[in-house]
Each structure stands twice: as C-alpha cells, then as structure tokens.
Amino acid sequence: MTKTTTDELASKGLAAKRAARELAKVTGGVRNRALLNIADRIVEQQETILDANRLDLDAGTEKGLPDYYLDRMMLNGERLEAIASDVRGVAGLPDPVGEVIEMKTVPNGLQVGRRRVPLGVVGVIYESRPNVTVDISTLCLKSGNAVILRGGSDTINSNTALANIIREAIADAGAPRNAVQLIESTDRELVGKMLEAREYIDLLIPRGGQELINRVARDAKMPAITGGVGVCHTYVDKEADLDMAMDIVFNAKVQRYSVCNAMDTLLVHSAVAPAYLPKMAGRFAEAGVEMRCDRRALSLIGPSNGSGVLQVIPASEDDWSTEFLALIAGVRVVDSLDDALDHIETYGSGHSDAIVTEDYSAAMRFVDEVDSSAVFVNCSTRFNDGGQFGLGAEVAISTNKFHARGPMGLKELTSYKWTVMGSGQVRT
Amino acid sequence: MTKTTTDELASKGLAAKRAARELAKVTGGVRNRALLNIADRIVEQQETILDANRLDLDAGTEKGLPDYYLDRMMLNGERLEAIASDVRGVAGLPDPVGEVIEMKTVPNGLQVGRRRVPLGVVGVIYESRPNVTVDISTLCLKSGNAVILRGGSDTINSNTALANIIREAIADAGAPRNAVQLIESTDRELVGKMLEAREYIDLLIPRGGQELINRVARDAKMPAITGGVGVCHTYVDKEADLDMAMDIVFNAKVQRYSVCNAMDTLLVHSAVAPAYLPKMAGRFAEAGVEMRCDRRALSLIGPSNGSGVLQVIPASEDDWSTEFLALIAGVRVVDSLDDALDHIETYGSGHSDAIVTEDYSAAMRFVDEVDSSAVFVNCSTRFNDGGQFGLGAEVAISTNKFHARGPMGLKELTSYKWTVMGSGQVRT
C-alpha cells in the first residue's frame, strides 16, 4: 500500500464526512434539483463519458477480457439515456429524509416522535459496471447520504468521468459536491483499508461476488450489508396446481438466471412427482436447463437421452448448496412438507423461497417456518426485488436480519432520531 | 483459555441456536405463560435465590469489594418482588412477534407484507447485577429470541440460581428451556471468544462500562449495540424562560446522576448568563454539584468561597468530553446558538441533548441540526428512556445509527421477513 493510497482514502473520507453533515441540512428540493441536473448532464455530456469509456474498453480488449465482461463495462447513447431516465425516477420518489415515523403525546404531555435522518457516509465496493456509479450516487444523494465509491479498476476512466459530472451537477444545485467521492487509486489493498475505515464510513455495501461479500462479513469494522447470495428453492406441494407450478418454476429458473433471486433447487412432493417432473423436464429441456437430480427424480425423468435436449445428471451433495447463476437446477423429490422445510433450512441461504400449493395449512406453515428474507406462496421467487415490492428503488438485497432484510430501498438507507418537544417537563 | 471454556460456549451456543428455531414457532400465549411462571417462581423460590446470593455477597465481602458494589449485587425479598413485578409487566406488553408492519397489494395482485420475526440469539455481557439476568432473559423471551448470558463473575451463584429457575419455568410452559443459556465459566478470556462467535450470536449487547463497549465496537464479529455513553448537554438559549431552565437543568443533573442520560455540560447564552448562572450555581450548591467552568462562567459565578457549599473550579479541556456519572457539571458560556451547536458536535457523544428556549426558530434549528439519538426542547435529557417514550421496556440505549437508535424496546429486538401471497404470478 503506497502512502498516496492511504492519503486518498483519508482525505476523501474526511471530505465525505464533512459533506454528509452539510447534506443533512439540504432540503429535499435541492437534492432533487441535483438529481435532475445529473440526469440532464449525463445526456448532454455523453461524448465525454463515451470517450472515457472507450479508453476502458480498449484497455480491456488489450487485456483479453471476455466479451460478456466487456459488454457489462460498455456504455452507449442508449444506455446513458436509460441511466438518466432512472435518475429522474429516483428524483420523483418520496423523500425519505425528515419523515416522522411516529409521533405521540405521552401522559406528561411530551410530544415524542422519531424522525428519519440520513445514515451519514455510505461506502460501496463494486465491480466494473459504470452504471452502478450513477445508481448508487443518486440513491445516496436522494436519501441525504454522502458516498465513497470504489469501483472496479477496469472502468476507472468511465467512473471518473461520471463522478466528475455528478459532482458538478450537485454543486450547481447548491449542495456539497464532496457528497460523492470516487476513489481513483486502483491499488487492490485499498479494499482492505476501506474495511477498517470506521471513522469515515457508516455503512458498507459490497456489490460483487461471494468472495468480496465473505471478506466484508469477516473483516469490516463497520456495519455492512453482506447478503446477496441466493440459494433459492421452489417447493411443489402435493396439493399444487401443477400447471401453475410449471409456469412458476419455469419463470423462477429461466426468466433471468444470472441473478440472486433465480431458483436454484426444485423440490417436488413424491405424490405429484410422477405427473409433474417429466412434463417440467420437457419445459426445461426446451430452454436448455440442465437438471441435477436426486435418485428418485432421475428415475422419473430418465437419464439424458444423449440428444442434447434433455440434460439430466445426478446431483452431487454440493449442488444443493450452490447458487448456480446459470441454466442449471437441482431437482429433488421429497415425501412431505417437513422434508422440504428441512432441506431449505439445511441448504438454503435465507434469500428467496417459494411454495406452490392449494393447501391452506401448508401455505401458512411454509410462510411461518421458512426463515428467509422473502417467502412466496404461488408465485415466482424472481419477485424478491425493491421495484416489484413497491419500494421504488433498490440498493441491495440483504440476507442479514439486522437493520434491513430483503430489498433495501431509500428508507433502509436512513436512521432516525427521537425528537421530544416539551413545555418544562422534568423527570420525577 | 481452557478447552472446557471453549466447549461450554460452543455447546451452549449450539443449544441456544436450536432453541431459537423452536422458540420462533411458539405462540405469544406460551411465551407469556413462561414469563408469568418465571415471576411466580422468583417469589416462591426466593430462599434458594437468596442463599446463592449470600454466597456471592460473602465472597465479595471477603474480597473487599466496596459497599456500593455489594449493594448492586445484593438481592432481598423486596427486590425479588420488584423483579417479579417487572416480569409480569413484560408479559402484559403487546407481542412484537408476528406483527405485520405493512401489507399492500401491488399492481399485479401480489399481497406483499413485512412480518416481524425474532432476531435469533442475543448475546449479553453484563456486570455483577443479578437483576439483569432476569431482565434480559424476559425481554428476549417476550420477543422470541434465545439468549446467551455472560454476567459478572462476582454474582455467578445468584445468576446460576436465577437461570435455573427461569429455564424450568420456560420448560413448564411448553417452550424450550435452552432458550436461556448462562455461561458458568468465569474465565475472563471468554468475553473475547463471545466476540468471535458469529455462528451462534446474532446480536451482541454489552451492558457495562466504556472499556467493554469500546472493546465490543472494535472486535465484535457480529452486529452489536455499542452505545450507552452519554456526554449530554443542555443549552440555555437567550430566549429561555430562566425559571424553567433552572428546573430542567437541575433535574437533568441531579435527579439521578449515575445514568447515561444525565446532563454533563451546561451551555448558557452570554446574554442571559449574568442573570442565570449565579442563581443556577446556588441551586447546584444546595445539591452538592461541583461546577467545572470556562473562564466567563467562572467570573460570573465566582470561585469557590471555600465554605464547601459553592464548588466551582476551572474546567479542563478533557471535562467537555467527559461523561461524569457524578454530581459534576461542566459549565460554559457561549455567544450564539451556532456556538452551542458547534460545542455539542465537537464534544458530544450523540446521546441526549436539550435546548431551553421560547424562540421558535432556535428550537427548530436545534432539533434539525443536533445529530443525537434524542433531542429535547424545554424538557430534561433524563427522559431518554424506553419507559418514558412509551416503549414499555428497554433493553439498551443505542447511539449507533444502524438498526436502532436511542431506547431499544421489544420491537428493536426483532427483524422482519417479507411475505408474498400470490395466485400464480410470474415475472415478465
């Protein structure tokens, strides 16, 4: 770690902390003006952004980065328009700051309430997706928080260009430009330093793979959101509407398989497995889903026919606890709701789990007993999402139980203070 | 660290974790039955408890523990009646578990809600006050959480007797006795092991002095409540009703000085300081309060007259950031609301701060700008308390901004899960 790198974190951390205090006094109108400025300028100054992005893409191509990765890094006019449109959407959301959560008058006449306030400084470590730079900056700004951004080194030029535009747009609205700080050092040790920087960072959000999240969970000295890994189940009960179960399971696995709320393991009650599994296997085969099956599921579906259409192999023990993020599904036959609940408790990650059933008591038990951030009856696990739940925006999905669980929207980026208005009361 | 000690934490941790899962399925009626059993047995079996307590007191006397400390350790029939009465009070509080925080139907017809659930296992490290053993066990039981207790070694016999009674009372109500685990090892290294035990403990609450709290803040590997230190201010504005200010300041300092929400520093606007401070000093002198004054306050009050009534000395820089927990007050004259806000921001601990004023704008600015767990207008800082705020009970006062801030009641010992009831919805 060079001295320069440590200095950068310290100076930007201090600047963010001071800006957070200033920003806490800025009205929602000014914060919204800043957001609309950002949206306008991302479109107006797109040449500057795209030039910087071109530098990143050229360097990435030279390094031999794979195409899917380069695609994630890539910006163009259309993508920038979409990003700007999202920013305008955030400006239009209700202001979480200043909301009075409850206000009551207690017997001695004191008016006691809780008022939402920003958390302070949010630190975010993320991979090489420049849209995250805008996304996180604007959600933090809307919720009155300063932010320290540490994006992937492969998009450092794009991120720098975007952060410059964002900071100018904030300043022109009359808010503190230092509320957004981008760490420019690409020194890898900087992540370790961020995990220690509890004097500057009030909440740390890692947006990345399992390795980063595990490291943050283990080493962060400040509160952190360390969820995001979803080993998600759908249980098809013996009283399921099997057509509905087919659609729900297909959607949960196939509609977007690279995300945390996609289904990983299909559990099917043995009473309906013979009628259900062969048909479901057919649907999966059409979509190119590989099925990793327990012994009983295997015997019902049959082994791969070798045509490359039906992809069926025996599951390994590890498959049950794997987040596939791919067109792969574990498939297991169970003999009861209890067996399904046991499987979910043993192998799940507490993210998103669903039951398909017409049996009232089975549905109630599933909702009561599955200890996950979101539990679903007769619908797809893919709905575990801030937008779908009506939060308007999503910062992350938490599988922690502390502070926030499941999709985190703007309110989950706030704290509160107690306000007590009196007329001379003393305690006796 | 002996192997036995590590084994005790591991085995009790695992037992608590399993019991937490069982307890999450137990109805509020059964949990209340367990609480009433506890209250009954503490009274019925008081001889057993008092015998154990006598052992602790004898050992403490032999060790030469000071009287005030022995008094904190001491139980008697009256104190046990009071403890039992508090437990009955907790049984009578609304059940936080299962409360639906919000439930709405989103445009596709999904019914989306959040339901309160227990956090899991709460770990508590506390000093030699046997009442805390009952207090924390019952609040955790009421909120559906298992608890791992690590009390001070000086009351190990009292705590063991109480924990045995509590566990039997829980079992007789049909709830899992393992929901309450008392660590019996008095090995001091055990605290360090608890800070590491994130596989068993979902939330750690240290109830003790600054040293313990700092250690938890620095080293705990799980979420922890690390507040509790209050450097609290009362600012007497130039538009204050000075009689009201006298009563409020006197109450904040004198009514109970050994607690975190007692006033530490009195800030007085220079325009009213000549009229206010000499009178206030007289009130303080009657109550034996030592005043540590800045230069201007000193010149208004005058130095100690040597009679031992008026105790006035110059303040040191350290006094401004000290939580006195004693009949001592810092006193400073300021020239404006801004100077008062600066002082609070510089020296305060974000716990409890008050303004006394009849000026609307000054009151509004103080509430807006002071970044503390509770801000007060025209009343005593002593009101920062779960009971006073209508929470029914208090586990701790948090000066963290994450999860809970200020007094933590039963709801603050819970998390939530999202519940989503559908009729075949898939995501498009």
Decide if B427 and A251 are in contact by the 8 Å CB cutoff: yes
A257 lies in some domain:
yes
Q: DSSP 3-state assignment of B93?
A: coil
Question: What type of residue sits at position A64?
Answer: G
Question: Between the CA of residue B28 and those of A362, A423, B161, what are the distances in Å?
Answer: 21, 39, 26
Q: Measuring CA to CA, which residue among B150, B152, B179, B137 is closest to residue B17?
A: B179
Could you tell me if B236 and B141 lie in one domain?
Answer: no
Tell me, rounded to whole angstroms, the distance of Cα A368 from its chain centroid: 24
Q: State the nearest Cα–Cα gap between B386 and chain A, in angstroms.
A: 11
- B55 to A273, B63, B182, B184: CA distances (angstroms): 64, 12, 18, 15
- Phi/psi of residue A95, each to 5°? -75, 120
Per-residue pLDDT of chain B (428 residues; tens, 9 = 90+): 455 667 899 999 999 999 999 999 999 999 999 999 999 999 999 999 999 999 999 999 999 999 989 999 999 999 999 999 999 999 999 999 999 998 999 999 999 999 999 999 999 999 889 999 999 999 999 999 999 999 999 999 999 999 999 999 999 999 999 999 999 998 888 999 999 999 999 999 998 888 888 899 888 989 998 877 899 999 999 999 999 999 999 999 999 998 899 999 999 999 999 999 999 999 999 999 999 999 999 999 976 554 547 889 999 999 999 999 999 999 999 999 999 999 999 999 999 999 999 999 999 999 999 999 999 999 999 999 999 998 988 888 999 999 999 999 999 999 999 999 999 999 99
Q: Which of B122, B129, B106 is nearest to B53 (CA)?
A: B129
Q: Which amino acid is at A56?
A: D
3-class DSSP state for residue A415?
strand
User: How sure is the predictor about A306, in pLDDT bands with cuts at 50, 70 and 90?
Assistant: very low
B363 φ/ψ sector (left φ>0, alpha ψ -120 to 50, else beta): alpha
Residue A4 has a pLDDT of 65
Please check whether residues B237 and B279 belong to one and the same domain.
yes
Nearest to A415 among B106, B382, B405 (CB): B405
User: Would you say residue B24 lies in a domain?
Assistant: yes
CA distance A87 to chain B (A): 23
**Greater pLDDT, B302 or A2:** B302
Q: How far away is chain A from the Cα of B46, in angstroms, using its nearest Cα?
A: 31
Alpha-carbon distance A422 to B375, whole Å? 11
The predicted structure's pLDDT at residue B159: 97
Which B residues in the span 331-390 are in contact with A, Cβ-Cβ below 8 Å?
345, 363, 367-369, 371-380, 382-384, 388-390
User: Does A399 fall in a domain?
Assistant: no
Domain that residue B144 falls in: 3-225+407-420
Phi, psi of B62 (to 5 degrees): -60, -40
For residue B142, CA distances in Å to A274, A316, B40, B203, B325 come to 45, 42, 16, 16, 31
Are B419 and A375 an interchain contact pair (Cβ–Cβ within 8 Å)? yes
Q: Which residue has the tokens 């090489």?
A: A128
Is there a domain that residue B398 lies in? no
Helix, strand, coil fractions of chain B, as percent rounded to 5: 45, 20, 35
| pTM of the complete model | 0.92
Least Cα distance to A270 among A303, A246, A294, A304 occurs for: A294
pLDDT above 60 (res A269): yes
Q: How far apart are CA A387 and CA A89, in angstroms?
A: 11
> Domain check: are A276 and A219 in the same one?
no
- By C-alpha distance, the chain A residue nearest B120 is A401
Q: DSSP secondary structure string, B120-168?
A: SEEEEEE-S-HHHHHHHHHHHHHTT-EEEEE--GGGHHHHHHHHHHHHH
**Residues in chain B within 8 Å Cβ distance of A244:** 424
B211 and B244 part of one domain: no
On whether any CB of chain B is under 8 Å from the CB of A106, the answer is: yes
User: What ipTM was reported for this prediction?
Assistant: 0.93
Instruction: Supply the pLDDT for residue B306.
Output: 47
Q: Is A244 helix (H, G, I), strand (E, B) or coil?
A: helix
Residue B31 CB partners (closer than 8 Å, separation 6+): B23, B95, B141, B142, B144, B173, B175
Q: Which residues contact A418 (CB under 8 A, 6 or more apart)?
A: A112, A113, A114, B373, B374, B375, B384, B389, B405, B406, B407
| CA distances, A264 to each of A227, A323, A381, B346 (Å) | 17, 6, 10, 51
Q: Where are the alpha helices (DSSP H) in B287-407?
A: 295-301, 337-347, 360-369
E strand map for A199-301 = 203-207, 232-236, 263-269, 290-293
- A6 pLDDT exceeds 80? no
pLDDT at B304: 53
Domain CATH code at residue A325: 3.40.309.10
> How many whole angstroms separate alpha carbon B215 and alpha carbon B225?
12
- Evaluate whether residue B292 is within a structural domain: yes
User: Shortest CA distance to B226 belongs to which of B239, B237, B236, B213?
Assistant: B213
Task: Kindly state the DSSP code that residue A70 receives in the 8-state scheme.
Answer: H
- Indicate if B182 and B248 belong to the same structural domain: no
For residue B76, tell me if it sits in a domain: yes
Query: What is the domain count for chain A?
Result: 2
The predicted structure's pLDDT at residue B2: 55
Q: Are residues A142 and A42 in the same domain?
A: yes
- Other Cβ atoms less than 10 A from the Cβ of A136: the count is 22
Burial level of A93, CB count in 10 A (0-12/13-18/19+)? middle
Q: How many residues does chain B have?
A: 428
Q: For A373-387, what is each residue's pLDDT tens digit?
A: 999 999 999 999 999
Higher pLDDT, A305 or A65: A65
Compute the nearest-CA separation of A238 from chain B (Å): 16
Asked whether residue B209 falls in the same domain as residue B315, the answer is no
Residue labelled with tokens 């999709």: A407
**Is residue A3 very low, low, confident or very high in pLDDT (cuts 50, 70, 90)?**
low
Task: Evaluate if residue A372 carries a pLDDT over 70.
Answer: yes
Could B428 and A255 be called an inter-chain contact, meaning their C-beta atoms sit closer than 8 Å? yes
| Cα separations in angstroms, B181 against B19, B73, B310 | 10, 20, 51
Give yes or no for residue A227 having a pLDDT over 80. Answer: no
3-class secondary-structure state, position A126: strand
Q: B121 - beta bridge partners?
A: B146
Nearest to B9 by CA among B164, B127, B181: B181
B218 and B284 assigned to the same domain = no
Looking at the fold, whether A239 and A342 belong to one and the same domain comes out as: yes
Residues 309-328 of A with CB under 8 A from B: none
Tell me the average pLDDT of chain A. Answer: 94
A74-77: list long-range contacts, CB under 8 Å, 24+ apart: A75/A49, A75/A50, A75/A130, A75/A131, A75/A158, A76/A50, A77/A46, A77/A50
CATH number, domain containing residue A133: 3.40.605.10
Chain A nearest C-alpha distance from B88 (Å): 22
Close Cβ partners of A319 (under 8 Å, ≥ 6 residues apart): A265, A292, A330
A74 and A136 belong to one structural domain: yes
Instruction: Determine, yes or no, domain membership for B57.
Output: yes
pLDDT recorded at residue B415: 97
Q: What is the side-by-side order of every strand in the sheet holding B100-105?
A: A311-314, A290-293, A328-334, A263-269, A232-236, A352-356, A374-379, B414-425, B111-118, B100-105
- Tokens 């207690």 locate to A106
Q: What is the pLDDT of residue A1?
A: 47
- The SS3 call for residue B245 is helix
Beta-carbon count within 10 A of A105 CB: 12
Q: Considering only residues 42 to 71 of chain B, which have any Cβ-Cβ distance to chain A shorter than 8 Å? A: none
Sign of the CA dihedral with B112 first, then B117, B120, and B123 last: positive
- Cross-chain Cβ contact B403/A402 below 8 Å: yes
Same domain, A119 and A259: no
Contact B405 A383 (CB under 8 A): no
Contact yes or no for A240/A267 (Cβ under 8 A): no
Q: Of B206 and A309, which is predicted with more confidence?
A: B206
Write the CB contacts of B145 (distance below 8 Å, at least 6 apart in sequence).
B20, B23, B118, B119, B120, B121, B122, B179, B202, B413
Which residues, 6 or more positions from A70, have their beta carbon under 8 angstroms from its beta carbon? A57, A60, A61
Contacts of B400 in chain A (CB under 8 A): 223
Report yes or no on B394 lying in a domain.
Answer: no
CA distance A404 to A225: 9
Pair type for strands B396-398 and A290-293: unpaired
Residues A189 and A71 in one domain: yes
